[in-house]
Chains A and B, each alone.
Chain A
Amino acid sequence: MNWKTFFAMLARDAQVARRNAVQLLFQTFLQPLLFVFIFGKVMVGSGYMPAMYKSLLLPGIMAISMVFTGIWAVAMPLIAEFQWTREIEDRLLAPIDIRWIAVEKVVAGMIQALVAGLMVIPLAWLVLRPGVEISVSEPLVFVAIVLLVAAFSACGGLALGCSMDQQHIGLMFSMVITPMIFFGCTYYPWSALKTFPILQKVVLVNPLVYASEGLRGTLVPQSPHLSLVAVLVALVGFDALLLMVGLRQFDKKAVT
């Protein structure tokens, strides 16, 4: 394993992210903050939502921000670099097994997802306060879940980015990302679906459910949430599956 090459590629991605920092910030935070403001501030402040909703909303928003950022950070550059300009070719010719290039993309995506997720907490807290009750009672479980969510988003980005062409980006958002967010228990806890028993079972195939419920369970333990053991097992499973699919698709795209 050639770590020099690996870190050089990470440095390259960091340089590109630094150059696009402002754009990245807006892309990552504008939508979640607007959601936080409208649902957490306006709706709660005007009495349409109970005050408790603020605390329920924050972990969901964090999950959306992380997943969206990770998918975007990995999938978009890959789609661009694999299209006809083949920009990725200089890295495919770097002295390293090409699978590590995919892994490097995943690591870069994870870092961006982590930054996005951790920045949402203070930002949302600023918008929502007072009345947000966050307490991390099990820091190790919290760290594990945050890392697994970041990995899920970046591996998902790899799998999507290597399976799609540029003309299908719009489709990816309307067919994959949007339903995933709305059926991802982000704006409501999973237990709220108990009046829709079939839907409640079906959404369990959506990995975002485990991300939001896991964050909810560790950040706002007093609210209803899925068992953390189930969350950890499901996230590990989805991470492994998406990484495997992603690596296979990457290989297919990279070598003819």
Chain B
Amino acid sequence: MAVGLRTQDLRKVYNSAPPLAAGGGFVQRADARGSKQTKTQVIALDGLSLEVHPGEIFGLLGPNGAGKSTTVGVLTTRVRSTSGQAWIGQHDVWNEQAAVKYLIGVVPQRPNLDFALTAREILVFHGAYFGLGSKIRNERADELLEKFKLTDRANQMVRGFSGGMMQRLSIARAMMHDPQVLFLDEPSAGLDPQTRILLWEIIREYNRAGKTILLTTHYMEEADALCNRIAIVDHGRMIATGTPAELKSSIPGGYLLRLRFAGVTPALVEKLQSLAGVREVHASDSGADVYADRGGSLIAEIASVAAATGTELSDVHISEPSLENLFLHHTGRSLRD
């Protein structure tokens, strides 16, 4: 029976720098009440509510410091939220930690393998922590080592492993107790394209066995290729949520034309808005982002509109419907900024 998860109004304020894996959040100088000193606070989560259905692959998408890792931290008992609640299945994460830990497997952003043990021991002891019997934990460790192509390194200490090997072993470890919900924090960061595709296949396969998967990423392609549903987060808030197709179709028009002009005048913006197929125009000093139903066929009209208002079109970038555009549409900045 697959298990879902949800959070309600999660808020997390770090009073000191947040832990490395939990990214950044944005720094706000808040006046500490009752003292003259101002205190540096980092608001990592600002009222985040989300629901992941049982058995789906759900992606948390956002730039660095958006609050993705903190969300995973709260859902996996590792971060105590300042307010709000989180549930895995029916269990309140903070108040029923042991029950929750049986249900979840966690692949951290940076490998946190037990350096005092060999690869095989890491898996076997992990099984033992979860109360698996000796026979079953040894069998399962061997299966996973085989599956993740680590059998020939099974009895070596992991200190000398490459990043990719550590990553694979981290995933194997998370799967050792057969959790119902698997968390992967930036699973493909630092992996080469081939390994990334292998990783996607492993995630899909685990999902086919009826498991729920929550992954965080700042790769659009990854969210697009892998996830049933996506939530876009920024500054600890939910910006949009839905299937990748739904989200893409929510961008006005679908096409995004990033234009540069020698100068932008109100008359130009007005004329751009009146062109056939143009849905929205976001103007800045030196250019405009135009959301429209069509792409290339608009360029000639835009160029003539520019000429008619006494300026010149100097650069054009057309992108087709994508999550990247969606992010830009909602936040006014690119995902990789």
Evaluate whether A87 and B114 lie within 8 angstroms (CB atoms) in the complex, with A93-B101, A256-B14, A256-B22 already known: yes
Q: Is the interface of A mostly helix, strand, loop or mixed?
A: helix
Residues of chain A with a CB closer than 8 A to B104's CB: 93
* Bound: A9/B19 CA distance, A: 25
Query: Are B78 and A95 in contact, with the CB atoms below 8 A?
Result: no
- Chain A 66-96 interface 0/1 with B at a Cβ cutoff of 8 Å (1 = within): 0000000000010010001111111111111
User: Is B209 interfacial (CB 8 A cutoff)?
Assistant: no
User: Is A171 interfacial (CB 8 A cutoff)?
Assistant: no
- Chain B 160-185 interface 0/1 with A at a Cβ cutoff of 8 Å (1 = within): 00000000000001000000000000
User: Is A223 interfacial (CB 8 A cutoff)?
Assistant: no
Nearest-neighbor residue (CB-CB) of B103 within chain A: A95
Residues of chain A with a CB closer than 8 A to B258's CB: none
- Chain A 136-169 interface 0/1 with B at a Cβ cutoff of 8 Å (1 = within): 0000000000000000000000000000000000
Nearest-neighbor residue (CB-CB) of B130 within chain A: A95
Nearest-neighbor residue (CB-CB) of A8 within chain B: B128
User: Contacting B117 at CB < 8 Å: which of A5, A15, A92, A94?
Assistant: A15
Query: Are B129 and A92 in contact, with the CB atoms below 8 A?
Result: no
Query: Are B128 and A11 in contact, with the CB atoms below 8 A?
Result: yes
* Bound: A80/B104 CA distance, A: 26
User: Contacting A5 at CB < 8 Å: which of B20, B21, B97, B130?
Assistant: B130
* Bound: A77/B117 CA distance, A: 13
* Bound: A131/B38 CA distance, A: 68
User: Contacting B98 at CB < 8 Å: which of A2, A11, A19, A85?
Assistant: A2
Question: Would you give the shortest CB distance from A215 to chain B, in whole angstroms?
Answer: 31
* Bound: A87/B116 CA distance, A: 9
* Bound: A92/B117 CA distance, A: 17
Give residues 56-98 of B contacting A (CB, 8 Å).
73, 76-80, 97-98
User: Is A255 interfacial (CB 8 A cutoff)?
Assistant: yes
Query: Are A8 and B78 in contact, with the CB atoms below 8 A?
Result: no
User: Is A12 interfacial (CB 8 A cutoff)?
Assistant: yes
Query: Are A89 and B112 in contact, with the CB atoms below 8 A?
Result: yes
User: Is B196 interfacial (CB 8 A cutoff)?
Assistant: no
Residues of chain B with a CB closer than 8 A to A98's CB: 97
Query: Are A5 and B131 in contact, with the CB atoms below 8 A?
Result: yes
Query: Are A8 and B98 in contact, with the CB atoms below 8 A?
Result: no
Question: Would you give the shortest CB distance from A84 to chain B, in whole angstroms?
Answer: 6
Residues of chain B with a CB closer than 8 A to A89's CB: 78, 108, 112
Q: What is the size category of the interface that chain A forms with chain B?
A: 20 to 34
User: Is A4 interfacial (CB 8 A cutoff)?
Assistant: yes
Question: Would you give the shortest CB distance from A30 to chain B, in whole angstroms?
Answer: 22
- Chain B 107-132 interface 0/1 with A at a Cβ cutoff of 8 Å (1 = within): 01010111111000110011011110
* Bound: A2/B19 CA distance, A: 29
Residues of chain B with a CB closer than 8 A to A93's CB: 76-78, 101, 104, 106
Nearest-neighbor residue (CB-CB) of B125 within chain A: A12
User: Contacting A94 at CB < 8 Å: which of B14, B19, B73, B101?
Assistant: B101
Residues of chain A with a CB closer than 8 A to B129's CB: 5, 8-9, 90-91, 94-96
Query: Are B130 and A19 in contact, with the CB atoms below 8 A?
Result: no
Residues of chain A with a CB closer than 8 A to B252's CB: none
Residues of chain B with a CB closer than 8 A to A84's CB: 20
- Chain B 128-143 interface 0/1 with A at a Cβ cutoff of 8 Å (1 = within): 1111000000000000
Nearest-neighbor residue (CB-CB) of B128 within chain A: A8
Query: Are B112 and A90 in contact, with the CB atoms below 8 A?
Result: yes
User: Contacting A97 at CB < 8 Å: which of B22, B97, B130?
Assistant: B97
Give residues 30-89 of A contacting B (CB, 8 Å).
77, 80, 84-89
- Chain B 184-226 interface 0/1 with A at a Cβ cutoff of 8 Å (1 = within): 0000000000000000000000000000000000000000000
Query: Are A86 and B22 in contact, with the CB atoms below 8 A?
Result: no
* Bound: A15/B121 CA distance, A: 9
- A selection of 10 A-B contacts at a CB cut-off of 8 Å is A12-B117, A15-B117, A80-B115, A87-B112, A89-B112, A90-B113, A97-B97, A98-B97, A255-B77, A256-B18
7 more contacts with CB within 8 A, not counting A89-B78, A90-B173, A93-B76, are: A2-B131, A8-B125, A11-B128, A86-B21, A89-B112, A96-B129, A256-B80
B residues contacting A by CB (< 8 A) are 14, 18-22, 73, 76-80, 97-99, 101-102, 104, 106, 108, 110, 112-117, 121-122, 125-126, 128-131, 173
Give the 3 A-B CB pairs with smallest separation, nearest first. A8-B128, A94-B129, A86-B112
